[in-house]
Structure 1
Amino acid sequence: MLKLVGGTGVAPRPAEAAIIIPARFASSRFPGKPLVPLLGAEGAAKTLLQRSWEAARAVGGVAEVWIATDDDRIAEVARGFGAQVVRTPADCANGTERCWAAVCEAGIHADIIVNFQGDSPLTPPPAVELLVDTLAAEPRISVATPMIRCSPLQVDRLTAEARLGRAGGTTVVFDGAGDALYFSKRVIPHIPERCRDAPIYFHLGVYAYTRAALAEYMRTPPSPLERVEGLEQLRFLHCGLAVRMVEISDPPGGLWEVNNPSDVVVVEAALAERRLV
């Protein structure tokens, strides 16, 4: 079941939406990550990029899906499995900037742009549909993005990754309306000792933006907190733009991104549990 935090429901989608999957080869934590093979439920290997593209293609009511990259290797592989590819500049600082470059380069006219992370093949398609509907329901909201409440096991995994100096994922805190207050690659809020029911929310890095929000983002220099955390979404908060958090339930196999090589086995286990080939 999917549910909206801080809202009373969603309205039908009045505007066209397009999905863009930003993909770059030179990841500092995991070079060549988009092309790493992931085994599905029946042992077939597909690249992380293709599995993310297939998940994006399963989202209903979307006009088009693009892969945005500056890398020849990624472009060749993407075209090989049938994706639309748009070439974007190498100096895009993050996925949001690459989405805007793709909108301009490909002449994408959709009113709502979805940034579908190329390292998140476990993203449930209905969750993305709910993000688009959330923007349609509340005109004051500029960005919508999903989260899940972590189980004690997931909190342990995040804190273990932090102790090893790795970013196991991003957590978020939000206000009573469901609008984000802060995102961090560390676990927030602070967890007191022996607290086994801490309200920790894991942020899944897929975003739906209005065109106006994307344009405002590009007009604004990176904020100090964005630079420190390495989290692009903090620029929206710095601009004073509302980022609505949409709570979703944890699907079979969980929601985990491929941030480090060690994440591959976790994601493969989830693909097997969901019987995704």
Structure 2
Amino acid sequence: MTAVEEATTQSGALQPRQLIVTLYGLYARECGGWLSIAAVVRLMAALGVEEPAVRSSISRLKRRGLLDALRMDGVAGYALTEVARDILADGDARIFGRRRADESDGWLLVVFSVPESERDKRHQLRSELTRLGFGTVAPGVWVAPGHLADEAAEVLARRGLAGYVELFRGAHLALGQIRDNVAHWWDLGQLHARYAEFLERQEPVRERIVAGDGAGPGQAFADYVRLLTDWRRLAYADPGLPLDLLPADWNGARAAELFSELRGRLAGPAHEHARRLIGA
């Protein structure tokens, strides 16, 4: 799955449409990418979201080209579009298959130039690079760890942006300290604060589960969908910079460990509960 929406907030509040994207990514693809509107309403009710907000959010996702209205055996519902399937597949790799770079991976440099007459493409390109986790070296020059090269090339090509960019991969040879440069190219302070917020929200979940107060599959479902929606935003904001280039008190590794642990504890019972709600 992925950060499908540009309107994803930086705060801890999870928007209904973000939760719907998570539900489709987790549970709809295994049954053809379609869910009845009644099933979506039941799933979202289990997350504390009322039906009017669900229908409004689905309409927004439809306008953005991520869901299509589709009746199956006379039942009204919505199916993922091909665009949404591609985005969710990108997200799977970033969220579940991400790894942290080391300095031997080198660096990926993107240099782009977009004519003034195509300013919309410039905005789209910057948005995609930000979503991929690139840092800014200078206007039109962006950088990321080298292990993101294949993902970046594929995404930019799929979005029709490859013709505006040149990609270079190599080692850092400047006289300055790479650690100092990294601190300028990325807003590490903001990312550290976002990880701290994630830990503040999710550590009590772990404590409750460890204490034996998991409260059953319904609670596991709610916890897991919120966990994954919460983590998805961080998985795209953090490019996986080498740990030795990050501050000594970096909390991203602890957050990743917590996400992995909670996923292991919650995914199974959450899936069982979701299938019951979908089939009800």
Same fold (TM over 0.5): no
More strand by share: 1
TM-score normalised over the length of structure 2: 0.27
Which one has the largest radius of gyration? 2
TM-score normalised over the length of structure 1: 0.27
